[in-house]
C-alpha cells in the first residue's frame, strides 16, 4: 500500500519527497507555486503528487485564485490531510513520561503523563506501553490510524539504530530502546536526542520553517542547542555539535561537571543557579522556585544570580551567531519558567558579543512546556514517514 514498502515510509522519488515536505511545512501551495519553488515542471509536480493524493495524504482545495486575467483555469492549491495519520510522541525524563498524539501537521490532539517510579529499562518500557495505550484509546481513529511512535530523551542517542548509547539522567548505557519499544507496542519507532527532536519540530512546524539556518537553544538542567545549517540538522562527526552549554564564558569561572571550567552550564544550568542562590542567601535548602519568587520580589542578590546566568547564556548564543550565522535563534526550555528574569540580560550580552551584522539575528525567548518536547518526538516520527 505504501510506496516505501516494509518500512511504511512514503518516501518515493525525490520529487515526491520534495513536494510532500513543502506542502507539509509551508501549508497549501498550488502546483504552479510548487513547480516554481522546487525547479520542477508542472507535469513533474502533478506526477509526484498523484500517489500522495491517491493515498489520502494530500488533497486539492477548492480553487480560490486566478493566476491572472485570461490565465486559464484557476489554481487549486494542494494541502495536507492532517487527520490521515496520527503519531505518538513521548519524552522520557528521569521521573516522568510525557506523551502526546499529533496529527500529520504536528498539531497536538491529546496529551497524557505517567510518573516513573523506577528508571530501569524494563520499568520505563512497561510505562511507555501503558502511556501509548492510553493515548491510542482517546479516540477510535487514533488507534486505527497510528502506526508510528517517536521517543526522545536527553543524552547520546543513535537516531539511525534507535540505540541509547548513554543517558546520564536515567543511567542507561547501550540500550536498544527503539527495537524494544517496537516489539512492545507494534509501532514503528524512532528514537532521538530530545534537543534534536525539538529542533526538528521547530524546523518543520515552528519558527524555523523556511529558515536555511536556524538554532534552538534550550535552558534547563543542561543547556543544549540544536543547529540547522543549509536546511539540515547538524549531528557532528563525533556525535557532538552545538554544545553551547560547554562554551567557555569565564576561563577562571566555576568548575563544570564536564571537567572544563567556566562553561555556560557551570553558571546558568539549573544546578549552578540553585547552588549560587543558596550560597548568596545562606539558605542551604533554598529551591529554584523559591529563588525565582524572591528574585521577582526584588531580592537584589538573587536577581544578580539570574542576571549572571542570563549574561552567560547570551554570550553562548552570540558564539553560535558568530560561528554559524543562523537566520534566527529561539531560546526556550523548562528553565525559562523564569524567562522574565533572563530575557533582558540574555539580549544585552548577546548584543554586546555578537560580531557586526550577526547582532541582527532575531532572538525569540519563550518558555516551553514538556508537552512541546513530546511533540518534538512526534515530529521526528512524522519525518520518518516523509523522508527516505
- Of 25 and 276, the one with the shorter C-beta distance to Zn ion is 276
Burial 266-297 (b: 16+ CB within 10 A, else e): bbbbbebbbebbbebbeeeebeeeebbebbee
- Does 240 engage in binding with Zn ion (CB under 5 A)? no
From residue 183 to residue 202, what is the string marking binding to Zn ion with x (rule CB under 5 A)?
A: --------------------
Q: Which of 11, 256, 286, 312 binds Zn ion (CB under 5 A)?
A: 256
**If you compute the radius of gyration of the chain from its CA atoms, what whole number of angstroms results?**
23
**99: nearest Cα among 45, 43, 146, 158:** 146
Segment contacting Zn ion by CB under 5 A, of 181-189, 229-237, 259-267, 299-307: 259-267
How many residues bind to Zn ion according to rule CB under 5 A? 5
Extract the C-alpha cell encoding 360.
541582527
- Of 81 and 257, the one with the shorter C-beta distance to Zn ion is 257
Q: Which of 3, 119, 155, 260 binds Zn ion (CB under 5 A)?
A: 260
- Does 249 engage in binding with Zn ion (CB under 5 A)? no
Q: Which of 63, 126, 258, 323 binds Zn ion (CB under 5 A)?
A: 258
Least distance to Zn ion from the beta carbon of 262, Å?
Answer: 8
Least distance to Zn ion from the beta carbon of 329, Å?
Answer: 20
Residues numbered 122-151 forming contacts with Zn ion, rule: CB under 5 A: none
- Does 272 engage in binding with Zn ion (CB under 5 A)? no
- Does 58 engage in binding with Zn ion (CB under 5 A)? no
- Does 246 engage in binding with Zn ion (CB under 5 A)? yes
- Does 267 engage in binding with Zn ion (CB under 5 A)? no
- Does 263 engage in binding with Zn ion (CB under 5 A)? yes
- What's the CA gap between 56 and 276, in Å, rounded? 56
Per CB under 5 A, residues contacting Zn ion are 246, 256, 258, 260, 263
Amino acid at each position: 500500500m505504501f510506496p516505501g514498502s516494509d518500512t511504511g515510509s512514503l518516501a518515493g522519488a525525490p520529487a515526491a519527497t520534495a513536494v510532500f515536505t513543502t506542502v507539509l511545512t509551508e501549508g497549501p501551495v498550488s502546483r504552479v507555486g510548487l513547480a516554481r519553488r522546487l525547479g520542477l515542471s508542472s507535469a513533474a509536480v502533478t506526477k509526484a503528487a498523484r500517489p500522495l493524493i491517491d493515498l489520502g495524504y494530500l488533497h486539492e482545495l477548492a480553487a480560490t485564485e486566478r493566476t491572472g486575467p485570461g490565465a486559464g483555469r484557476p489554481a487549486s492549491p494542494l494541502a495536507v490531510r492532517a487527520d490521515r495519520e496520527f503519531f505518538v510522541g513521548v519524552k522520557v525524563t528521569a521521573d516522568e513520561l510525557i506523551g502526546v498524539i499529533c496529527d500529520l501537521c504536528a498539531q497536538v490532539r491529546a496529551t497524557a503523563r505517567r510518573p516513573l517510579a523506577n528508571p530501569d529499562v524494563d520499568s520505563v518500557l512497561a510505562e511507555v506501553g501503558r502511556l501509548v495505550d492510553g493515548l491510542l484509546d482517546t479516540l477510535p481513529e487514533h488507534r486505527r490510524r497510528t502506526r508510528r511512535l517517536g521517543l526522545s530523551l536527553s543524552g547520546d542517542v543513535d537516531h539511525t539504530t534507535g540505540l541509547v548509547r548513554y543517558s546520564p539522567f536515567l543511567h542507561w548505557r547501550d540500550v536498544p530502546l527503539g527495537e524494544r519499544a517496537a516489539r512492545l507496542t507494534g509501532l514503528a519507532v524512532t528514537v532521538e536526542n530530545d534537543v534534536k527532536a525539538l529542533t526538528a519540530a521547530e524546523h518543520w512546524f515552528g519558527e524555523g520553517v523556511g529558515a536555511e539556518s536556524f538554532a534552538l537553544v534550550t535552558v534547563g538542567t543542561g543547556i543544549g542547542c540544536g543547529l540547522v545549517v543549509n536546511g539540515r540538522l547538524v549531528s557532528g562527526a563525533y556525535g557532538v555539535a552545538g554544545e553551547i552549554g560547554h562554551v567557555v564564558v569565564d576561563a577562571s569561572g566555576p568548575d563544570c561537571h564536564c571537567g572544563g571550567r567556566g562553561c555556560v552550564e557551570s553558571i546558568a544550568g539549573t544546578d549552578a543557579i540553585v547552588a549560587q542562590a543558596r550560597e548568596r542567601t545562606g539558605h542551604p535548602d533554598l529551591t529554584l522556585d523559591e529563588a525565582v519568587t524572591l528574585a521577582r520580589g526584588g531580592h537584589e542578590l538573587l536577581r544578580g544570580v539570574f542576571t549572571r546566568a542570563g549574561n552567560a547564556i547570551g554570550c553562548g548564543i552570540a558564539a553560535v551567531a558568530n560561528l554559524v550565522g543562523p537566520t534566527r535563534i529561539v531560546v526556550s526550555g523548562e528553565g525559562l519558567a523564569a524567562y522574565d528574569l533572563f530575557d533582558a540580560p540574555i539580549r544585552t550580552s548577546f548584543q554586546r558579543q555578537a560580531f557586526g551584522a550577526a547582532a541582527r539575528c532575531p532572538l525569540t525567548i519563550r518558555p516551553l512546556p514538556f508537552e512541546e518536547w513530546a511533540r518534538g518526538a512526534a515530529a521526528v516520527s512524522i519525518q520518518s514517514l516523509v523522508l527516505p
